[in-house]
Chain A
Amino acid sequence: MTGRRMLYAYTWLVIAWLTLPVLIMIAFGFNDTPGRYNQSWDGFTLKWYGRVFELDELTRALVTSLAVATVTMLVAGALGTGIGYALGRYRFRGSGTVNLVMFAAISSPELVMGASLLTLFVSLGVGPGVVTITIAHVMFCISFVAVVVRARVLTLDRSLEEAAADLGANPWTTFWRVTFPIILPAVSSGMLLAFALSIDDFVVTNFTAGTTTTFPLWIWGSTRVGLPPQVNVMGTLIFLVGVAIAVTTSIRSRPARRR
């Protein structure tokens, strides 16, 4: 019995730990603060929600981040799915190396990756900006998508694809009509992961951005002069979208009950 109580206490402690910062962020989006400093409670207001896009620079930074994250999600999703599928399905010359590089890319420190990417872009003579940010994001997100997809493909019953071929489907049709729909949940998890990693990436972005400002970079730049409540509002909205996606995927991936 005490064991069970301790489990409850522990669970709630972890939940509190995880959500407290988020709750504070949400709360200060409703803070009726008079000046730029948003660090003490001055009463409840909804006005920041009406004035969320009032700061042009911040809005532009957010749009940049959303655009980069969307492109990253799509490109890394497509490339990562291809690599993950190949790694999970076939043994080919170099497949071991690709596998190793994937995990190395995931586990290598972002600082190192950012710095080396900067060197690469400079030595190639590519001016830093939205394009270099996106290239860098795609690069480090591919591995995450590939690893998630590969894990799913490894557990995929091979005879499903054989059955499709047996019923007259060519390899292309087999992939799109059978394999892809079945691994789609893994592909979308990988893509969401890529989006999430991209939209709040700071380290790699900072190295590759040049004069471009993304949402995290803007926040970092303005912490010294005080964060406007709009940042809390945008943070809250991004968080809510994330929660909504997480809830829908968990409902959809729940195994259907037998009637």
Chain B
Amino acid sequence: MDDRAAIELDGVHKEFVVHGETVQAVRPLDLAIGKGEFFSLLGPSGCGKTTTMRMIAGFEEPTGGTVYLDGRDVTNVSPNKRDVNMVFQSYALFPHLSTYQNVAFGLERKKVAKAEIRRRVGEMLEIVSLTGMEKRSPREMSGGQQQRVALARALVNGPRALLLDEPLGALDLKLRQQMQTELKRIQREVGITFVYVTHDQGEALTMSDRIAVMQAGRIEQLGSPREIYEKPATRFVAGFIGTSNLLDGPAGSVDDGIAVLTYGPGERVLVPVPDGVRPGDPLEVSVRPEKIDLGRDEPATAGGSVLTGVVTDVVYHGTSTNYTVKTAAGADLVVFDQNAYSAEDLAEPGDRVFLTWSAQHSYPIGVR
């Protein structure tokens, strides 16, 4: 019983008809979200994140497919009878009720005894650090405080899963980061499944156990933050998550699971590939900017990838300096250099430089 997923989508899809035209908001999705998992839906605007979440909550009826909560088919169950709660992007706090009444709303609907309500609301307000604000009305609170009321109002019901639709979207950067930590702490404390919608990749990477990267109503890749970042399955994921350098070319030799792409004398890219890749197969290689070393001198031992190029841009970012290098191989590569180790810039625009990185830092996109 306990290995049952908290939320399961089976071929769930949604079409809207807008002015006679059919919009595929969500294409058939298969998805299982485990108990206690912090699961993020990440993707650009309009990719279907909110629609997916609203189908789980019951506000949107799927055009097809089945939604399961704890193994129970709830596809045709109305939202007020589903054991999940949602934190709305706009918070949707009841403006005519106090903080206490807002948080107590769900428990009152379940006819929980008054004393029990008082106890649980008090406990929950303590968890979200709002003790003492019981009597305030939503408009007498700051954005961050309202956000926490919304969170408490949902969590106090002890739902099977909490659905959060860009809950930090309205907050400024500082508060956002603070709330990210706070949310993560609360999630660990209450141990409830979180489904988190965001279009902020940094947020998704730092908070999630698993991420589904969505694009145009489809899941492009599903995996841990590390997998998504280090091993992007598609060009889209590589570009959407962080900065990625992409290099194309046919595999030259394939030796011992390592393919070599040759671009010129002494210029080559090494990439680990699975069995089945033959010399001559086209490859697309992704390499993250912080994995590349940049130097003016020819590298002595060239065991890994080596490319040459001319620096076109140097941007200082505080913790790191970013270099853009136009390579002889044809691609513009971005290199991040941690300023902890370099007292001054490694190169200036116009300098000829060598880029090196080891074979395991290359990743072949779309090769299985």
Q: Interface on A for B, CB 8 Å cutoff?
A: 157, 159-160, 162-170, 173, 177-178, 181-182, 255-256, 258-259
CA distance A259 to B133 in the complex (A): 13
CA distance A170 to B78 in the complex (A): 9
Q: Interface on B for A, CB 8 Å cutoff?
A: 57, 59, 78-81, 85-86, 88, 90, 92-96, 105-106, 109-110, 137, 139-140, 153-154, 157
> In the complex, are the beta carbons of B86 and A256 less than 8 A apart?
no
Given A159-B88, A168-B109, 12 extra CB contacts under 8 A = A159-B90, A160-B95, A162-B59, A162-B88, A162-B92, A163-B153, A166-B85, A168-B106, A173-B109, A182-B96, A256-B139, A258-B139
Residue of A165, A173, A181 near B78 (CB, 8 A) is A165
Closest A residue to B139 by beta carbon equals A256
CA distance A159 to B167 in the complex (A): 14
The residues of B that contact A178 with a CB separation of less than 8 Å are: 94
Given A181-B96, A259-B140, also A163-B80 (CB < 8 A):
no
Number of A-B contacts (CB under 8 A): 64
> In the complex, are the beta carbons of A160 and B92 less than 8 A apart?
yes
> In the complex, are the beta carbons of A168 and B110 less than 8 A apart?
yes
The residues of A that contact B137 with a CB separation of less than 8 Å are: 256
Closest B residue to A160 by beta carbon equals B92
> In the complex, are the beta carbons of A164 and B105 less than 8 A apart?
yes
> In the complex, are the beta carbons of A163 and B86 less than 8 A apart?
yes
> In the complex, are the beta carbons of B79 and A166 less than 8 A apart?
yes
Residue of A162, A167, A181, A256 near B140 (CB, 8 A) is A256
CA distance A64 to B149 in the complex (A): 51
Closest A residue to B90 by beta carbon equals A159
The residues of B that contact A167 with a CB separation of less than 8 Å are: 80, 85, 105-106, 109, 153-154, 157
CA distance A166 to B88 in the complex (A): 10
CA distance A165 to B86 in the complex (A): 10
CA distance A164 to B86 in the complex (A): 10
The residues of A that contact B153 with a CB separation of less than 8 Å are: 163, 167
The residues of A that contact B109 with a CB separation of less than 8 Å are: 167-169, 173
Given A165-B78, A166-B80, also A182-B95 (CB < 8 A):
yes
Closest A residue to B57 by beta carbon equals A166
